[in-house]
Chain A
Amino acid sequence: MKRSIAVFVVLLGFPLVMSAIDNLFYVSFASRVIIYAIAATSLNLVLGYGGMISFGHAAFVGAGAYAASICIAEGVTSAWLGWPAAIAASALAAWLIGAVSLRTRGVYFIMITLAFAQMAFYLVNSMKAYGGDEGLTLPQRAELGLGLDLGNEVVFYYVVLFFLALSLYGLHRVMQSRFGRVVIAIRENEARAEAIGLPVQRYQLACFVIAGAVAGLAGALLASHGKYVNPNVLHWVQSGTLMIMVILGGVGQLWGGAIGAFVLLGLEHVISDYPIPWLAAVAPNYQQHANLGVGLVMLAIVLFAPHGVAGLLSRRRGA
């Protein structure tokens, strides 16, 4: 708990430092990282704590992003309407997809979530009214009122940071609650959980829907952040990226999603924007092939450090 607070103090101070040196690009970049942290944290609930390998989580981020975008595109610019709409849309999508998918197990579950997410991708792709495969550009970010201008990068940063704090604290409380215990128990031994009287599928579905809802919020924030949304947000490669973040950061660890998002996006940024001279001399176009590095790092993590970065940290503390 204390470490978490310390981290948040740093995060709170960050944009002030950046403003001081007049570098708002990094504030915007940090906002993007935080939004992905929220999305990855929501996946952590389902995947890390719940043990459900859902390969379609991007669909829920996308549902939220599109719901929020459509609101703004249609003139409903208030975040107080748009963001709850996004959460409702993604929760509904999670409920529908979960209700069918959770009837299957193991490999089938992974593939059916993957397939449903891809289905959502194709659906959105063919929505010509909202940009189709070219995506939808928004005239503005959502409006929060309360004297807060979301167009201001620093203000936006604090708003998304608030939601990250809320998500992490919420995850913390949920995992301490009865519901959290059940979720972990189901992951540990599903058959026995049922045998002591727990309606397993109901809890798994609830977990799925909660995670979907939070992912939808992340999606809405993402749409406002870039003032743009396109079907790629729902592509299964995006789901894979979110999963990488969770495992990179540490499954089932509170900060796992956030750490993973920070490391992955940070790595991508560093590789593409900061040329390493000797590497550039050997392979001139290496920065365009950043994915190669990401892939190699990911492979290494899976093969050699399966508990992710957070796992490494907690093991060093002797936990």
Chain B
Amino acid sequence: MSWILILEQTLNGLQFGLMLFLLAAGLTLVFGIMDMINLAHGSLYMLGAFIASTLVQATGSFVAGVLLAIPATAILGMALEISVLRTLYARDHLSQVLATFALILIINELTRLAWGSDAALPMPQALSGPVELLPGLRYPAYRLVIIAVGILVALLLFILVAKTRVGMLVRAGASNREMALAMGVDIKTLFTLVFGAGAALCAVAGAMLAPLFAVQVGMGENILILAFVVIVIGGIGSIRGALVGAVLVGIVDTIGRAFLPIVFGIFFQPRVASAAGPAIASVTIYLLMAVVLFFRPQGLFPARG
């Protein structure tokens, strides 16, 4: 087991974790502020990827396509919020779960009607080669770009939430909604904007990850569960928690998948190792979640005291 391999997998984990953070941040804010369970969040991620693929083809430029996909998805997200999701804020959690689950079905089928079951978003030529980070460590340039984008967006988000007035309103709303209302905050608009921001983040993640994973209907559901695990671990309503949780989940998952089968192979017979290794590897993050919840049922950094 070389250090190069470990470093490489750690970088992969970091890259995946940062993209997970983009999804988790939007999701945790919606939970924390609006107290709403939104299963359709993954669908926004999927739409971001599909829209990006169309725009990249239309403009012929990867950067232009991705940049344009962000506001486009944000607008779709806000339209969704204004039309359907608003009525769910006052409803109980079960209704929210079922309604947004229905939305997943609807959005999936509409996507299929509009694009077919999948789309292509190839990696830009300029970034498809490796970069030599350290002697012996060659890492794909594109993944480095993802990490850079992830860190950039995380910084932007932190500045926005911690330093601006809007950010203060968001934080106030996350920790005590009644108080925010009492202070005269225009809750409706705030909610719509928060939702739009969440959709934008989904689009970034969806578009950036598209060249690595396939762009297909249903891609949202799989990553949604991971985003849930992230915010459960990190604590609902906390962006800091989402970041820590996401990076943790990304790294644990990636390293688990890469190395657990090998570790099992050392200790167990090949037949057992090849069966059990991948199985345990795929559930490591759920075990992580169970352990965190056992000791801190509110997550690591709960926003509400």
Give yes or no for direct A-B contact (beta carbon below 8 Å). yes
Q: How far in angstroms is the closest Cβ of chain B from A274?
A: 19
**B108/A291 in contact, CB under 8 A:** yes
Whether B98 sits at the interface, judged by CB under 8 Å, is yes
- In whole Å, how far is B111's beta carbon from the nearest beta carbon of chain A? 10
With contacts A107-B37, A292-B106 known, is A115 near B98, CB below 8 A?
A: no
Residues B102 and A295 in contact, CB atoms below 8 Å apart: yes
The residue on B at minimum CB distance from A292 is B109
- Whether the Cβ atoms of A108 and B297 lie closer than 8 Å is yes
Q: Is the pair A108, B282 in contact by a Cβ cutoff of 8 Å? A: no
Please indicate the chain A residues that have their CB under 8 angstroms from the CB of B225 in the complex: 114-115, 118, 236
Contact B109 A291 (CB under 8 A): yes
Choose from B231, B275, B294 the contact partner of A103 (Cβ within 8 Å). B294
Chain B nearest CB, measured from A287 CB (Å): 12
A94 CB within 8 Å of chain B = no
Taking residues whose C-beta sits less than 8 angstroms from the other chain, chain B's interface range is: 35 or more
**Is A108 a contact partner of B84 (Cβ separation < 8 A)?**
no
Instruction: Tell me whether A292 and B93 are in contact (CB under 8 A).
Output: no
Partner of B102, one of A55, A236, A296: A296
- Give residues 52-85 of B contacting A (CB, 8 Å): 84
Query: Is the Cβ of A126 less than 8 Å from the Cβ of B279?
Result: yes
A239–B227 Cα distance when bound, in Å, is 18
Residues of B within 8 A of A107 (CB): 31, 35, 37, 93, 236
Residue B45 at the chain A interface, CB threshold 8 Å = no
Do residues B97 and A243 form an inter-chain contact, with CB atoms below 8 A? Answer: yes
* Chain B contacts for A110, CB-based, 8 A: 37, 93, 97
For the complex, give the distance between the alpha carbons of A27 and B54 in Å.
47
Contact-residue bracket for chain A: 35 or more
B110: interface (CB < 8 Å):
yes
Interface residue A138 (Cβ < 8 Å from any Cβ of B): no
Kindly report which residue of chain A lies nearest to residue B299, judged by CB atoms: A108
A139 at the interface (CB under 8 A from B): no
CA distance A116 to B228 in the complex (A): 12
Shortest CB–CB separation between residue B34 and chain A, in angstroms?
Answer: 11
Q: Is A20 an interface residue (CB 8 A)?
A: no
**A247 cross-chain contacts in B, Cβ below 8 A:** 94, 98
Cβ–Cβ contact A236 & B221, under 8 A: yes
If A244-B102, A289-B109 are given as contacts, then 13 extra A-B residue pairs at C-beta distance below 8 Å, sorted by A number, are A107-B93, A108-B298, A110-B97, A111-B228, A112-B290, A115-B286, A116-B290, A118-B225, A126-B278, A240-B101, A289-B113, A291-B108, A302-B98
Interface residues of A (CB under 8 A from B): 47, 53, 55, 100, 103-104, 106-108, 110-112, 114-116, 118-119, 122-123, 125-129, 236-237, 240, 243-244, 247, 251, 289, 291-292, 294-296, 298-299, 302-303, 306
The 6 closest A-B pairs by CB, nearest first: A295-B105, A292-B109, A298-B102, A295-B106, A119-B286, A126-B279
* A-B contacts, 29 listed (Cβ < 8 Å): A47-B94, A100-B293, A103-B297, A104-B297, A108-B232, A108-B297, A110-B37, A111-B229, A112-B232, A112-B289, A115-B289, A116-B290, A119-B286, A126-B279, A129-B275, A240-B101, A243-B94, A243-B101, A244-B98, A244-B101, A289-B113, A295-B103, A295-B104, A296-B106, A298-B105, A299-B99, A299-B102, A299-B103, A302-B99
